[in-house]
């Protein structure tokens, strides 16, 4: 398919909007845009972070998902109690693939589900007593836990339980941090507010715990990785690069992270922020309170890695800067071989993305390194500052969609006809049944890591494996095939 021009893309948006009633049309029109690199501020062309209209099929999650699932969940040596009915925690249990080291159930608890399992009587009479009892049980059964967080589900806010009081009391009794998080699912418009609430609870209950305690010896080369959730091992493949260039990573937030690491983060010299959306709040706070600068970096694909390594090094002395160059040179033969192998197989393929916090813009560079082109991108829960950062990464006249609905996404795909779609599990089977190669870009489709040079090799292999899979030529039943279509079988190669 040839490229769409600006006018064609605009016409496409109009066509898709046509089926809506007038009011919905007006509302949705604000969330769909044609990219224009000359625009400085995204709010001029796209509206984001607004409540989804009832009736449209949104793909968003809730604030509880943002706090328990994303920010707090991966902190491995704490126990995160899903406070409320059992479902919210059970159906999302271990789905995010945040890898960690440790013995689950003994000193780490990442893939377990702890819940207060609310019943009718708890809703009627309140659940604070039950919660206090749970705290005791936790400490008896899992004595190696380093702390507890209470992740509120919807009912807690509705019945007005005082979880803060329970938490304060439990903190004293257990002599460990017990953090109440008010992340009821109905708050805000998407999981994004859950990130913010979780960040604020870290700020209020964790960050200052070791202020004035100098027993942790810091070095001038201490950095922390913020906003990397170690999906399929992402943070590990990032960490090795930083360590090879001479830095010391003192904390991982929060993939494979621990409470102690979080408490020690104020001793870092630089905060490296990967997922801006979910952890910029606490980075801003640390800059203000502790004077730790933060910078956004991107470890997807060799071009962006190289840029990021140099930018990180520029905060430090000559030794680190040389280290960065050394690391780039060391891996050059490796990633050049990857590109040489896969680029010919992927060159010119077109991709549409629809993901969450950082990937709709961060992975563009990695696709470009493989000769592919991203022709449409969008976020579930971004704010305008995310789109500000996206406009420059995307080509002119490409599609941008915010909080896209199931219907719009399908229609766009039918018209744009991308060769590959990267989105989440809810979209996966629809598009696969439409015969379009699909990668799940939230959890890397049970693969990963994709960060760093090691991750790039896996990323390239996965994209090739999906795109050039012979199955795509076999979707039509043989008796329905028209005579002159023998080339389908050759699609694999």
185 forms part of the interface with ligand SF4 (CB under 6 A): yes
* Measured distance CA(351)–CA(467) in Å, rounded: 10
In the bound state with other proteins, the residue whose beta carbon lies nearer, of 109 and 387, is: 387
In the bound state with ligand SF4, the residue whose beta carbon lies nearer, of 69 and 376, is: 69
In the bound state with ligand SF4, the residue whose beta carbon lies nearer, of 16 and 62, is: 62
In the bound state with ligand SF4, the residue whose beta carbon lies nearer, of 118 and 335, is: 118
Q: Are 241 and 254 in contact (CB under 8 A)?
A: no
367 forms part of the interface with ligand SF4 (CB under 6 A): no
In the bound state with ligand SF4, the residue whose beta carbon lies nearer, of 70 and 328, is: 70
Q: At its nearest, how many Å lie between other proteins and the CB of residue 90? A: 31
Q: At its nearest, how many Å lie between ligand SF4 and the CB of residue 53? A: 17
Per the structure block, which two tokens stand in for 475?
């979707």
Residue with tokens 């257990």: 174
Q: Which residues, in sequence order, are CB contacts of 238 under 8 Å at separation 6+?
A: 225, 228, 274, 299, 451, 452
Edge-first strand order for the sheet with 350-353 is 32-34, 399-402, 373-379, 350-353, 420-423, 438-440
386 forms part of the interface with ligand SF4 (CB under 6 A): no
In the bound state with other proteins, the residue whose beta carbon lies nearer, of 71 and 375, is: 71
Residues that bind other proteins (CB under 8 A): 40-41, 43, 49, 196, 281, 284, 287-288, 383-385, 388
Q: At its nearest, how many Å lie between ligand SF4 and the CB of residue 151? A: 9
* Measured distance CA(418)–CA(434) in Å, rounded: 12
185 binds, among ligand SF4, other proteins, none (CB under 5 to 8 A by kind): ligand SF4
Q: At its nearest, how many Å lie between ligand SF4 and the CB of residue 493? A: 44
Instruction: Tell me how crowded residue 411 is: count the other CB atoms within 10 A of its CB.
Output: 18
In the bound state with other proteins, the residue whose beta carbon lies nearer, of 115 and 265, is: 265
385 binds, among other proteins, ligand SF4, none (CB under 5 to 8 A by kind): other proteins
Which neighbouring-strand residues pair with 254? 228
62 binds, among ligand SF4, other proteins, none (CB under 5 to 8 A by kind): ligand SF4
Q: At its nearest, how many Å lie between ligand SF4 and the CB of residue 63? A: 7
Q: Are 286 and 237 in contact (CB under 8 A)?
A: no
Which neighbouring-strand residues pair with 34? 399
In the bound state with other proteins, the residue whose beta carbon lies nearer, of 203 and 248, is: 203
Residue 67 DSSP code: I
Q: Which are the catalytic amino acids? A: 62, 65, 96, 195
* Measured distance CA(164)–CA(150) in Å, rounded: 9
Q: Which residues, in sequence order, are CB contacts of 406 under 8 Å at separation 6+?
A: 56, 57, 59, 427, 430
49 binds, among other proteins, ligand SF4, none (CB under 5 to 8 A by kind): other proteins
CA distances 448 to 439, 440, 455, 462, 467, Å, are: 12, 11, 7, 9, 17
Q: At its nearest, how many Å lie between ligand SF4 and the CB of residue 290? A: 32
CA distances 173 to 77, 133, 136, 170, Å, are: 19, 12, 9, 5
Angle between helix 22-29 and 6-17 (nearest 10): 150
Bridge-based pairing of strands 114-115 and 373-379 is: unpaired
Site string for ligand SF4, 137-176 (x = CB under 6 A): ----------------xx----------------------
Q: Which residues, in sequence order, are CB contacts of 136 under 8 Å at separation 6+?
A: 173
88 binds, among other proteins, ligand SF4, none (CB under 5 to 8 A by kind): ligand SF4
| DSSP strands (E only) in 411-470 | 420-423, 438-440
233 binds, among other proteins, ligand SF4, none (CB under 5 to 8 A by kind): none
Q: At its nearest, how many Å lie between other proteins and the CB of residue 250? A: 22
* Measured distance CA(157)–CA(448) in Å, rounded: 37
Question: Of 62-91, which residues contact ligand SF4 (CB under 6 A)?
Answer: 62, 64, 88
52 binds, among ligand SF4, other proteins, none (CB under 5 to 8 A by kind): none
288 binds, among other proteins, ligand SF4, none (CB under 5 to 8 A by kind): other proteins
Q: At its nearest, how many Å lie between other proteins and the CB of residue 209? A: 22
- Contacts to ligand SF4 by CB under 6 A: 62, 64, 88, 153-154, 185
């Amino acid at each position: 398919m040839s490229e769409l021009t600006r006018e064609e893309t605009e016409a496409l948006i109009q066509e898709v909007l046509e089926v809506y009633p007038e009011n919905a049309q007006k509302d949705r029109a604000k969330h769909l845009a044609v990219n224009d690199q000359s625009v400085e501020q995204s709010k001029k062309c796209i509206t984001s972070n607004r409540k989804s209209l009832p009736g449209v099929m949104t793909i968003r999650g809730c604030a509880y998902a943002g706090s328990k699932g994303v920010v707090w969940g991966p902190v491995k040596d704490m126990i995160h109690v899903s406070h409320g009915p059992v479902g919210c925690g059970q159906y999302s249990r271990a789905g995010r693939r945040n890898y960690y080291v440790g013995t689950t159930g003994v000193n780490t608890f990442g893939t377990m589900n702890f819940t207060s399992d609310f019943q009718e009587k708890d809703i009627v009479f309140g659940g604070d007593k039950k919660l206090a009892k749970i705290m005791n049980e936790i400490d008896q059964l899992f004595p190696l836990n380093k702390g507890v967080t209470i992740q509120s589900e919807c009912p807690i806010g509705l019945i007005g339980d005082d979880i803060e009081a329970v938490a304060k009391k439990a903190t004293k009794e257990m002599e460990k941090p017990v953090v109440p998080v008010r992340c009821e699912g109905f708050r805000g418009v998407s999981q994004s507010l859950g990130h913010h609430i979780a960040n604020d609870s870290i700020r209020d209950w964790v960050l200052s715990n070791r202020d004035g305690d100098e027993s942790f010896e810091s070095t001038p080369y201490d950095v922390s990785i913020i906003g990397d959730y170690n999906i399929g091992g992402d943070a590990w493949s990032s960490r090795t690069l930083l360590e090879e260039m001479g830095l010391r990573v003192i904390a991982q937030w929060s993939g494979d992270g621990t409470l102690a690491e979080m408490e020690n983060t104020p001793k870092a010299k630089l905060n490296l922020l990967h997922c801006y959306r979910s952890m910029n709040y606490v980075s801003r706070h640390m800059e203000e309170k502790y004077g730790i600068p933060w910078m956004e970096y991107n470890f997807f694909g060799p071009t962006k890695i190289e840029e990021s390594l140099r930018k990180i090094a520029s905060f430090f002395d000559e030794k680190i800067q040389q280290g960065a160059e050394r690391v780039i040179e060391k891996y050059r033969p490796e990633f050049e071989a990857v590109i040489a192998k896969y680029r010919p197989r992927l060159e010119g393929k077109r991709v549409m993305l629809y993901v969450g916090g950082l990937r709709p813009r961060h992975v563009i560079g990695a696709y470009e390194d493989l000769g592919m082109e991203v022709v449409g991108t969008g976020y579930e829960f971004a704010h305008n500052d995310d789109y500000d950062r996206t406009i420059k990464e995307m080509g002119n006249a490409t599609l941008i969609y915010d909080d896209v609905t199931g219907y719009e996404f399908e229609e766009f795909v039918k018209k744009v006809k991308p060769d590959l779609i990267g989105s989440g599990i809810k979209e996966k089977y629809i598009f696969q049944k439409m015969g379009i190669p699909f990668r799940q870009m939230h959890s890397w489709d049970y693969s990963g890591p994709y960060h760093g040079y090691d991750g790039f090799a896996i990323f390239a292999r996965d994209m090739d494996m999906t795109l050039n899979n012979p199955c795509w030529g076999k979707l039509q039943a043989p008796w329905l095939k028209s005579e002159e279509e023998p080339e389908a079988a050759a699609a694999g190669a």
